[in-house]
Structure 1
Amino acid sequence: MRLAFSETTPDYENHLAPYQVLGFPEDGETAATAFGYGMLPSNRELTRFYLARSVRIDLARYTESRRERYVRRQCDTLRRAFLPRAQLAGPDDWADMCVRYMNESSWWLTRRGRPFRTADLTARLNSPMTTHLLTLTDTTDNSPAALGTLYVEPPIAYYALAFYDTRYRKTSVGSHLMSSVISELQHHGLSHVYLGTCYYEGARYKTRFTGMEFFDGLGWSDDRKKLQLFLSRQNDLSGQHLFDHPSYLETGPPPRPEDTTLRLADAPQPQHIDSVEE
């Protein structure tokens, strides 16, 4: 991976110059390479990735929880199907459901400069980031209930977007859709499914599955107490980084040189100039 460091708002008075780490796959590397390094897609073409507090499920350790079984019973009229994106039957019905969700959902609110149209959905479905779909169809009337877009590159997959008919909200269909994705991908023999990031309490639903791991800045961790520490303290990090925060240091020693995730040995070196000719 080639890395670039894109600067964000710094706080020079406190000696903080934060950067967003961007990754660009090189020859022989794919999106799976970036996911393994804790990166997530920064564009739909999968040519640029960003380092983040990514969450994934180790499918070798995944088992259905009691809560998942309860939600599955609540959604017992919904039939799931896993298919390549080009094989979606009745695409107009699915498009109507998805676009309606995009225009009603609070998650899409900040992205709504105008009402979404079918073309906006099509641009997302017909992109390298969507190779497969997982659909939930209501067997009582054969109507679309929920749809998840997936990037699948065995042995990993990325759960990118979710859409559902809001009339199923009381049955926790969004949770059932994510659980169905995880179960289906485990059935197909994949090793990991990536679920996005976890930077606020509202995103903790992604971490409730067995086999959960998150990227903690050094590597993949399944320490839920550490994740809770990150979530509870991140708004207190005024004037210092997490690795310097007392609450983090109480959980263990600061990072050691051998813990670091990157060596800049291959970074271009500045050229020495002996003289400047006028």
Structure 2
Amino acid sequence: MSEETPAEHMNDLTHLGVEIREARENRKLTQRHLARAAGYSESYVSKVESGTVLPSEKFVAACDTSFGTNGLFARLRERIVKRGHPTWFQPYARLEREASSILNYSANLVAGILQTGPYARAVIRAAFPREADEFVNERAEARLQRREVMKREKPPLLWVVLHEGALRTRVGEDHHMREQLGHLLKEAKSPHVVIQVLTFDAGAPPSAESFTLLSFAGRSGVVYSDTPMGGQVSDAEEAVTYSRTVFDRLRAAALSPAASLALIRQLMEEYPQ
């Protein structure tokens, strides 16, 4: 597996920020002008131009429109994002951004798209105990950027079934777990997000492994499944149909959304503030 180093990733981020600043200045625009055009704050523009944050897809699209750069900054951002994901995950990450619905079953950990920063870093650190902090932060930032799909004008339906074990597994410090569980409650307030919990009392789950089903308008869906060496994406009709049947059984066996949130709230209160 060939990947860029964390230092190269940071250099790319700084380079993108410099290019955006120079394009803005060449067109005699202030940070305030760009902020208004993109729908962001001046401080956000400043952070992008200084290379301290990865700009959103919406922001770089606004830059390309304002500067007339024909998708240049969108392409530069895409290259950076690819470096933040392992090679085997990149095809799925691209598909997830285009999906009309995302159906996820998480057997052991909170679904990546719903993870907080500290939780994601703790998960990645556990998987890569010998890597530098820059590597862990890079992977975590790429994971957090997956949330952007829910900020689309018409976001996908995100339906997540979490096994109770995923909620009870202590990841990071106590306050990190409280923050993570609180984040789930906050996200579930969206009309586009449904969260259910499959409790221990439900018995043996229909699936022992985590997987995600993506649906698309006008074309067939795909299923992403975890493996010990990474993950794989399949658009085989048999695999998609089988996975959809399993997911239906999972959410049928899980608590109702309201009861699920009550359990998550109860678990959150077990951690000190």
| TM band (smaller chain) | under 0.3
TM-score normalised by the chain length of structure 2: 0.26
Larger radius of gyration: 1
TM-score normalised by the chain length of structure 1: 0.26
**Which has the larger strand fraction?**
1
**Which has the larger helix fraction?**
2
